[in-house]
Structure 1
Amino acid sequence: MAEAPSALVYVVEDDAEVSRLVVMALQDFGFMTETFGDGGSVLRRLRSEKPDLCIVDLGLPDMDGIELVREIARRCSCGVLILTGRGHTVDRVMALEGGGDDYVVKPFEPRELVARVRSILRRRGAGVPGAAPLQRRHARFAGWSLDCAANLLRGPDGTETLLGTAEAQVLRAFLERPHQILTREQLMGSRELSPLDRSIDVRISRLRRKLEADPQNPKVIKTVYGAGYMLAAAVEWE
């Protein structure tokens, strides 16, 4: 059975230590993450990519967090979990009425936070690591399309190829973050990848043989020397 595609979670938190703790907890359970230190940066990011869920701190340096929750809800159909030090009932009510799905007060237990994230995603039908796929999601890029639920890659000429789970996992990581440099650790979903582990390079090579007209001169999956790899194509989700 194909694995469920991992959900992409945006963490909007100006406290670097709290952000690190949240990201570590999410990645330990297979989620993909992207972090933002203020509201403006996440709103700019939403123009090009939509996450499955946003975790939002209300005490941001550039704008009111409740207003950010409302703006995210207006621009995106993703789930929203509020993570804040504000425990007042009025803040909770305003945040939930403004578009939040759940409300967690700091300090928090990381495993409980992950449980709440998973609960929101299940209700919304997004990809929860370790859970059965709740809906089929298709991504189109550079003339290709990927059925993420079936790991089925369809070429510009209509030819279909069934990807192995490992290859599909890497391709999905690229599709979730087009035009971004991804490290080998991000692509493998591991923070402690050995420098001698070349498995990711093997997977990239296999994908290039399928996607590239000239795998030795790749145009879709590019190598950024000393940094990682990047998908150089626009992605549309259906």
Structure 2
Amino acid sequence: MKILLAEDDRDLATRLSRALNREAFAVDWAQDGETALFLARTGSYDCVILDLGLPKIDGLAVLRQWREDGLNVPVLILTARYAWADKSAGFAAGADDYLTKPFLGQELIVRLRALIRRANGQKAGCVRCGPLTYDPISGAFTLGSETLRLTAFEARILTRLVQFPEAVVERDKLLDSIYEFEADVPNNSFEVLIGRLRRKIGHQMIETVRGQGYRLTAGIK
């Protein structure tokens, strides 16, 4: 899934891009309104995250132009403007959802998936590795016919692994996947999380490749 992120705050855009990448989203970044207009007109996106306070062209003007052009991609406004008048103006311009700063990263992910799910009529390509299935729209994992109950950290690690089935994923990249914005988890908790995942999906499905990282396999030997 591909996201257009229109945000002029470089630090926030970097953190958002990393968090979205961990959730299997590809991200194009527009730092101003002119770039956002151009990218949306020339590219294909599943959803747009739009800041209202963009330089060169204001976010609301960008959104109005997209809708006048007939661009129907779902748009989630992400802004520090929290007054109802600002929200009303955003929806009137054609926004599909509105989230104010500061925000929870997981809430943003849930809202994005909901917007994309509605736009796609529930259609999405699931990723499979043996008995394990991952739905990138809902973010749900199933093992056979059973939906897995995972913590946020466990889900982030498994999401990264399932993107590269039967391939080795470096430990540092997996460790990075459990960070969300400024939040972190102690390094020594990583092996605990891997152990929990193995108990939930089967020890044989997550292989340790010494000196390299971990591999998600179909579990069939």
Partner of 1:88: 83
> 2:13 matched to 1:19?
yes
Please list every run of 5 or more consecutive structure 2 residues that lacks an aligned counterpart in the other structure.
Answer: 127-133, 138-162, 175-211, 213-221
Question: In 2, Cα distance between the equivalents of 1:28 and 1:67?
Answer: 31
Deviation of the 1:115 alpha carbon: 0.5
The correspondence for 1:35, drawn from 25, 29, 34, is 29
Question: In 2, Cα distance between the equivalents of 1:128 and 1:107?
Answer: 32
Question: In 2, Cα distance between the equivalents of 1:128 and 1:34?
Answer: 21
> 2:38 matched to 1:44?
yes
Q: Percent identity?
A: 31
Question: In 1, Cα distance between the equivalents of 2:29 and 2:74?
Answer: 16
> 2:2 matched to 1:8?
yes
> 2:44 matched to 1:67?
no
> 2:101 matched to 1:106?
yes
The amino acid of 2:42's aligned partner reads S
What does residue range 170-189 of structure 1 map to in structure 2 within 5 Å?
none
Classify the secondary structure of the residue corresponding to 2:41.
coil
Deviating beyond 4 angstroms after TM superposition, the runs of 4 or more aligned structure 1 residues are 126-129
Question: In 2, Cα distance between the equivalents of 1:78 and 1:109?
Answer: 23
- Once the two structures are overlaid, the 10-residue window that deviates more, 121-130 or 102-111, is 121-130
Classify the secondary structure of the residue corresponding to 2:99.
strand
Classify the secondary structure of the residue corresponding to 1:47.
helix
Question: In 1, Cα distance between the equivalents of 2:136 and 2:9?
Answer: 34
The amino acid of 2:135's aligned partner reads A
Partner of 1:117: 112
Query: Do the aligned partners of residues 128 and 24 (structure 1) sit closer, same or farther apart at CA in structure 2, a change above 3 Å counting?
Result: farther
Cα-to-partner distance string for 1:146-169 (whole Å, 9 max, x where unaligned):
xxxxxxxxxxxxxxxxxxxxxxx8
Deviation of the 1:46 alpha carbon: 2.7
Query: Do the aligned partners of residues 112 and 128 (structure 1) sit closer, same or farther apart at CA in structure 2, a change above 3 Å counting?
Result: farther
Deviation of the 1:61 alpha carbon: 1.1
Give TM-score, length-normalised by structure 2.
Answer: 0.55
Question: In 2, Cα distance between the equivalents of 1:111 and 1:66?
Answer: 25
Partners of 1:121 and 1:128 within 8 A in 2: no
Deviation of the 1:91 alpha carbon: 0.7
The amino acid of 2:106's aligned partner reads R
What does residue range 204-223 of structure 1 map to in structure 2 within 5 Å?
none
Classify the secondary structure of the residue corresponding to 2:63.
helix
Which structure has greater helix proportion?
2
Give TM-score, length-normalised by structure 1.
Answer: 0.51
Deviation of the 1:23 alpha carbon: 1.0
Question: In 2, Cα distance between the equivalents of 1:81 and 1:14?
Answer: 15
The amino acid of 2:9's aligned partner reads D
Query: Do the aligned partners of residues 131 and 42 (structure 1) sit closer, same or farther apart at CA in structure 2, a change above 3 Å counting?
Result: same
Deviation of the 1:50 alpha carbon: 2.2
Please list every run of 5 or more consecutive structure 1 residues that lacks an aligned counterpart in the other structure.
Answer: 1-6, 134-168, 171-187, 198-238
CA RMSD of aligned residues (A): 3.0
What does residue range 157-176 of structure 1 map to in structure 2 within 5 Å?
none
Query: Do the aligned partners of residues 28 and 132 (structure 1) sit closer, same or farther apart at CA in structure 2, a change above 3 Å counting?
Result: closer
